[in-house]
């Protein structure tokens, strides 16, 4: 019989005290909302890590209406790894993230999304990369788990679906390359030094913003290619309408990333992106459609949506009083994804 060391806790939980059991070396934080069945796969994969240091799993439930709480309790009951359930009532991307950081007990925190599964050596490879580089901010590779029988999308679509496929040894990432928060190891000391995540991250991109802040604070951003998680892609995420929506969110997040450089720089970048879209992306889209290259045409169209969204988001940041665009920005919030899942459910029924 596997020892019962799992633990479930509600919204009233406070951070662990010095009188509690010895803190683990590593905490794995999972944010979740209404994905009980995918979450089950996520937790099970993390429970089965091989050659990992002492670790705990902290699941932060962001007001799920499904059976998420029961799923976590069932998995915690017979777990050899401590599994802790925390309810975060404030909805959004950042509140459950910050709650997970606050509730975790270890000096190192690994992040995994609730629609991913981890390779058996995921934590071991993250820790090996930290030992080899001494880094406090390390991302890993994310590969796609596509629906059976589906065609492999183009490179732009794969990137938007969360693919971050790296090769080679653990190393420092240069330029503006951004690892995904869905596969990340961060030292608590760095989190304290850089500060909390941006609470205005309603439409994603919290990892893009935070990575930029980490670099501005003088810290290195590293990658551990051998630390792999798999992103579960439901069929609705391969639909063109969904990917166009993701591309618009991408453009908005890039505008937010570039905004600290000042209004003149942001305006220049917006004009440059629009010019590139009209002079390069649009002709490529037309040529690919004429030649019947559907995959390349779709990728070109997604990049056009990205450029247009970057320009619109830049207008709001430059002149919020003149261009507030509340409906546009509301359409990019992560909660808006529910319309695609509802459409998929309706089509299936």
DSSP letters of 249-276?
A: HHHHHHHHHHGGG-HHHHHHHHHHHHHH
Q: Are 261 and 312 in contact (CB under 8 A)?
A: no
- Structural domains of the chain ordered from first start: 26-233 (3.90.550.10), 238-348 (no CATH)
What SS3 class is residue 232? strand
- How far apart CA 293 and CA 312 sit, in angstroms, is 29
Q: Are 54 and 25 in contact (CB under 8 A)?
A: yes
- DSSP letter at 19 equals T
Q: Are 185 and 78 in contact (CB under 8 A)?
A: no
Q: How far is CA 106 from CA 49, 67, 122, 320, 321, in A?
A: 17, 28, 17, 41, 44
- Whole-model pTM: value is 0.86
- DSSP letter at 196 equals P
Interior/surface letters 327-340, b for 16+ CB within 10 angstroms, e for the rest: ebeeebeeeebeeb
- How far apart CA 274 and CA 296 sit, in angstroms, is 19
- How far apart CA 287 and CA 187 sit, in angstroms, is 48
Q: How far is CA 50 from CA 46, 121, 155, 334, in A?
A: 9, 6, 32, 33
- How far apart CA 103 and CA 25 sit, in angstroms, is 14
Q: Are 310 and 266 in contact (CB under 8 A)?
A: no
Per-residue confidence (pLDDT) for residue 200, from 0 to 100: 77
Q: Residue 297: what are its φ and ψ, rounded to 5°?
A: -65, -40
Q: Residue 117: what are its φ and ψ, rounded to 5°?
A: -125, 145
- How far apart CA 141 and CA 121 sit, in angstroms, is 12
Q: For each of the chain's 349 residues, which pLDDT tens digit applies?
A: 333 445 555 433 333 443 355 789 999 999 999 999 999 999 999 999 999 999 999 999 999 999 999 999 999 998 999 999 999 999 988 999 999 999 999 999 999 999 999 999 999 999 999 999 999 999 999 999 999 999 999 999 999 999 999 999 999 998 778 899 999 999 999 999 999 998 876 566 788 889 999 999 999 999 999 999 999 999 999 999 999 999 999 999 899 888 887 899 999 999 999 999 999 999 999 999 999 999 999 999 999 999 999 999 999 999 999 999 999 999 998 888 888 877 666 665 5
109 CB neighbour count, 10 Å cutoff: 21
Per-residue confidence (pLDDT) for residue 4, from 0 to 100: 44
Per-residue confidence (pLDDT) for residue 63, from 0 to 100: 94
Interior/surface letters 252-266, b for 16+ CB within 10 angstroms, e for the rest: bbbbbbbbeeeeeeb
Here the tokens at position 335 are: 């909660």
Residue holding tokens 């969360």?
A: 162
Here the tokens at position 79 are: 């777990």
> Residue 63: left if φ>0, alpha if ψ -120 to 50, beta else—which one?
left
């Amino acid at each position: 019989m596997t020892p019962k060391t799992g633990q479930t806790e509600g919204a009233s939980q406070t951070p662990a005290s010095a009188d509690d059991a010895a803190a683990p070396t590593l905490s794995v934080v999972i944010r979740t909302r209404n994905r009980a069945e995918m979450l089950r796969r996520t937790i099970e994969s993390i429970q089965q890590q091989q050659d990992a240091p002492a670790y705990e799993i902290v699941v932060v439930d962001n007001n799920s209406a499904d059976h998420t709480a029961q799923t976590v309790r069932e998995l915690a009951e017979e777990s050899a790894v401590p599994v802790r359930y925390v309810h975060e009532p404030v909805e959004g991307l950042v509140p459950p993230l910050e709650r997970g950081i606050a509730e975790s007990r270890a000096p190192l925190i690994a992040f995994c999304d609730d629609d991913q599964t981890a390779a058996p050596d995921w934590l071991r490879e993250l820790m090996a990369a930290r030992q080899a580089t001494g880094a406090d901010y390390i991302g890993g590779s994310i590969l796609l788990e596509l629906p059976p029988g589906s065609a492999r999308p183009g490179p732009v679509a794969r990137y938007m679906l969360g693919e971050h496929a790296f090769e080679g040894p653990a190393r420092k990432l240069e330029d503006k390359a951004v690892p995904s928060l869905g596969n990340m190891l961060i030292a608590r000391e760095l989190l304290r030094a850089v500060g909390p995540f941006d609470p205005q991250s309603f439409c994603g991109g919290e990892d893009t913003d935070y990575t930029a802040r980490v670099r501005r604070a003088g810290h290195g951003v590293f990658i551990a290619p051998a630390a792999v998680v798999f992103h579960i892609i439901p069929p609705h995420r391969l639909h063109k309408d969904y990917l166009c929506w993701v591309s618009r969110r991408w453009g908005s997040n890039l505008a937010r990333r570039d905004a600290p450089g000042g209004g003149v720089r942001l305006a220049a970048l917006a004009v440059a992106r629009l010019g590139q879209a009209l002079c390069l992306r649009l002709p490529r889209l037309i040529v690919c459609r004429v030649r019947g290259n559907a995959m390349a045409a779709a990728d070109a169209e997604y990049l056009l949506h990205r450029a247009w969204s970057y320009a619109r988001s830049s207008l709001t940041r430059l002149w919020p009083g003149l261009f507030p665009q509340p409906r546009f920005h509301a359409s990019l919030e992560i909660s808006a994804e529910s319309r695609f899942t509802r459409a998929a459910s309706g089509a299936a029924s």
